[in-house]
A and B are shown apart, each in its own frame.
Chain A
Amino acid sequence: MHSQSLDAMAGNRPKNTAKKRSVSLSYRVAVFLRFVAAIMGGYAFTSVLISLLAVLLPLNKLDSVLLTTTLSVFFYCCVFIWVFAVKSLKTVWITILLTTSGQLLALSFIKGWL
């Protein structure tokens, strides 16, 4: 396991460019976009999800807000890790955008914002 994780640590440098000791630009952009998806996308997804849950939960106002807000970090953390676990960056972005806007639409219908 340890040699495996050693390799993975070195993996920040793709093997073919390791000799040049520089990381390709496309790789950098891909990593940057992953972090944007994890931080911003995860934040948007979590915010909408917990707001929707707070409206839907059959509890009184205060309780549903406290419960969903307390669970928010759990959701955020899961999304963050999921973003890095999926192979294709496209899948990540499409899933986040679709689910977030879907939930936002549902929330808008319930609250009558539309």
Chain B
Amino acid sequence: MRLLLVEDSQRLQYSLSRGLRSAGYAVDVTGDGKEGLWQAESTNYDVIILDLVLPGMHGLEVLRQIRAKGSVTNIIILTAKDTVEDRVRGLETGADDYLVKPFAFDELLARVQALCRRSYQRKDPRLKIGEVEIDTSGRRVSLQGKPVELTPREFMCLEYLAMRCGHVVSRTEIETHIYSEPADLMSNVVDSTICSLRKKLSPSGCPSLIHTRRGLGYELALEAESA
């Protein structure tokens, strides 16, 4: 999942981005409202964490312009403004959630996870595809009831594919949603991650859940469609 953090406090930028990345999210960070708007328009983020009092452009204006262009990206406002009027104004302008500073990092994380699930019309934090069960909250994966050890990147890739289960996901989309830094055009990090996932999630004799669609990308599904 890829997040955009628009926050002018460098210390919050540092701690939140570190925490969110450690939790398995790809995070882009900016401290300027205009730059945040530009990034929100140029990249398909799963969730945007938006401060209100920003240099360059006020957070509400950023939010208004994002919504004016038809974006459905989930946006959570993170601000010190705590009055009812502020919260109502933020939500009415188009925010999906509102969190007042100071906040608990775990609460922010839980809200981000909830918004990510909402992005893919999922209510249950546990995803089950065949014999594979993914706990998006606990960041755990099990196969036939036995835990499977995945690297953070493998988990992010699997989670993203599972969220879009039944849909073909391009390599670029996977890169965009799981890597904080742009992957090299010639890099095969996605392919190698998929390969590793196939090995870990498909014991010998079992059909693979991750299918390659030539020229299109990958699909997580129970059975491969006939070519």
**Binding between chains A and B:** no
B interface list, Cβ under 8 A from A: none
